Amino acid sequence: MTPPIQPIFRTGRVVATGLARTTGAALLLTACLSGPTGGPEGRWIDLTHPFDAHTIFWPTEEGFVLERGAGGLTADGYYYEAHRFRSAEHGGTHIDAPIHFGAGRWTVDRIPLSRLHGPAVTVDVSLACDADRDYRVGIEDLREWEAMHGRLPTEAIVLLRTGFGRFWPDRIRYMGTDERGAVAIPKLHFPGLHPEAARWLVEERQIAAVGLDTPSIDYGQSRTFETHRILAAANVPAFENLANLTALPARGFAVVALPMKIRGGSGAPLRIVAIVP
């Protein structure tokens, strides 16, 4: 098992580079959060879809259920409201913990906070995805981004904008089918990250996390989930079903992604925000 406390990096540059990233992230977050009077400065952008009866889950899951409880004035004259919910780990805007596809890797509660906040970038592949629902973001897409915007920051949070977020919560346009159960799996069509691009991000750019505006980091027609497996092996979490990526610049902003801290969880609902100076 991986120890609960891990260095930020997995290379021989752990101390120096880790400190550099931590300092850089702190400076960026400080710039976003602190104006001349110490108050908020910049735009806070919610990248989270609400959880309700329309929330999209994998076809084999039940979905999000809110069971209404008490609501109204009590006998003592004060208002009181309390409900219950039930949900699969993987649905709506959520995190895939590395253990989801990697034995012995981090569970949700063991992911270091350093992997869940920091400098972020947006890679826009929406034109390619409009032309091909089964598009897989490749190394060439990432190199083209770097040619325009500079090298990806080490240990960045990389967000892939496929454009499919605009289809939420229409299951047919978003996933390719509104059928439920195992029969729906072969009919899933949506973009994802190519396994070789995932490997490149892990090995060549040492990313902290990756996310996108589709139901899965692997494209809809995947049957072996290689991208999940590559990321999991490197203890890199994935954020799925993100919202509002069209509101983000290519770089120069920060992300804070905090999942429900489920002990032993393979995934969890995620509240994720971007802070644009």
The SS3 assignment for 141 reads helix
**Confidence class for position 30, pLDDT limits 50, 70, 90:** low
Model confidence band, residue 17 (pLDDT cutoffs 50, 70, 90):
very low
Superfamily of domain 43-69+88-276: Putative cyclase (3.50.30.50)
Cα–Cα distance for residue pair 182/184, rounded to 1 Å: 5
For the chain, the average pLDDT equals: 89
Rounded Cα distance between 191 and 175, Å, is 9
Q: Which pair of structure tokens corresponds to residue 77?
A: 């004259």
Domain ranges of the chain: 43-69+88-276
What is the average pLDDT across 28-32? 56
Is residue 263 packed enough to be buried (19+ CB in 10 Å), middle (13-18) or exposed (0-12)? exposed
Q: What is the crossing angle of helices 195-204 and 226-233, to 10°?
A: 20
Residue with tokens 């890679």: 123
Is a pLDDT exceeding 90 seen at residue 251? yes
Strands (E), 149-237: 157-161, 192-193, 209-212
Phi, psi of 141 (to 5 degrees): -60, -40
- State how far the Cα of 9 lies from the Cα of 207, in Å rounded to an integer: 9
Q: How confident is the model at residue 10 (pLDDT cuts 50, 70, 90)?
A: very low
Residue 197 has pLDDT above 60, yes or no: yes
β-strand partners of 161: 124
The whole-number average pLDDT for the span 148-154 is 96
The pLDDT score that the predictor gives to residue 2 is: 38
Q: Which of 49, 44, 45, 46 is nearest to 174 (CA)?
A: 49
User: Which of the residue ranges 24-28, 102-106, 141-145, 241-245 would you say has the lowest mean pLDDT?
Assistant: 24-28
pLDDT of residue 116: 98
Average of pLDDT values for 58-74?
A: 96
Q: Give the per-residue pLDDT at 170.
A: 98
Q: What percent of the chain has pLDDT above 70?
A: 85
In this predicted structure, the answer to whether residue 204 has a pLDDT above a threshold of 50 is: yes
**pTM attached to this predicted model:** 0.87
Confidence of residue 39 (pLDDT cuts 50, 70, 90): very low
Q: Please, which pLDDT band fits residue 119 given cuts at 50, 70 and 90?
A: very high
Contacts 24+ apart (CB under 8 A), 71-77: none
Q: How far, in Å, CA of 95 to CA of 268, rounded?
A: 6
User: Of the ranges 30-44, 135-149, 171-185, 223-237, which one carries the lowest mean pLDDT score?
Assistant: 30-44
Please give the pLDDT value at position 42. 79
Q: Is the pLDDT of residue 12 over 80?
A: no
If you compute the radius of gyration of the chain from its CA atoms, what whole number of angstroms results?
A: 19
Whole-angstrom distance, CA of residue 86 vs CA of residue 129? 33
**Per-residue confidence (pLDDT) for residue 33, from 0 to 100:** 52
pLDDT at 200 over 90: yes
Q: Provide mean pLDDT across the span 219-243.
A: 98
Q: Which pLDDT belongs to residue 41?
A: 66
Q: Which residues contact 173 (CB under 8 A, 6 or more apart)?
A: 167
Whole-number Å distance between alpha carbons of 157 and 80: 40
Residue 131: the pLDDT is 98
Q: Which two tokens stand for residue 152?
A: 């990806």
- Where do the DSSP E strands lie in 3-92? 43-46, 65-73, 79-86
What distance in Å separates the CA atoms of residue 39 and residue 73, rounded to the nearest whole number?
37
